[in-house]
Every structure is written in C-alpha cells, then in structure tokens.
Amino acid sequence: VGIHLFLATARALELKKAKMVLFGAHPLVKESFNNVRLPELIPLADDEDAALALLPPA
C-alpha cells in the first residue's frame, strides 16, 4: 500500500493532535526511509521503548 499509508495516517493523527512514531524497521526499509528523509516527518525509533520515549505522556 506504499508510503502513502504512513503519511496519510500520520497526517490524520496530527490533525487530532496525536503523533505517530515508527519502530523496528528492517535495515533495508530504514535505508529507504532515510533516503527520502521520512524520519523528519515521522520519527523512526529502533525499538518500542525508544518509540514510546518520543511520544508525549498520555
């Protein structure tokens, strides 16, 4: 379903004052995301704990 899904979801969440963080990406996927600087829009963490740390407290 392409990168569209991530962008559309993150944008919809932002409109609701929520934030999306990705984690656990395969190194090849991470490389593709870094190529287009996606992590500047949707943070990319190494694991779940690191991802949760990037989110504001509930």
Partner 1 sequence: VTSANVTDGSLHLQVSHGVADLEDGQRRLREFLGQRGAGERGIYRAELAFDELVTNAIKYAHAGGAQHPIAVSAALAGSEIVVVIEDDGPPFNPLEAAEPEKPTSLEEAPIGGLGIKMVRMSSKAMEYERSAAGKNRVTVRIDRD
Q: Does 24 bind partner 1 (CB under 8 A)?
A: no
For residues 40 and 46, which CB has a smaller minimum distance to partner 1 in the complex? Answer: 40
Nearest-approach distance from CB 46 to partner 1, in angstroms: 19
Q: Which of 18, 24, 29, 54 binds partner 1 (CB under 8 A)?
A: 29
Q: What are phi and psi of 22, to 5 degrees?
A: -100, 150
Residues 6+ apart with CB under 8 A from 7: 41, 42
Please give the Cα distance from 3 to 39 (Å, whole number): 12
Q: Which of 25, 41, 50, 51 binds partner 1 (CB under 8 A)?
A: 41
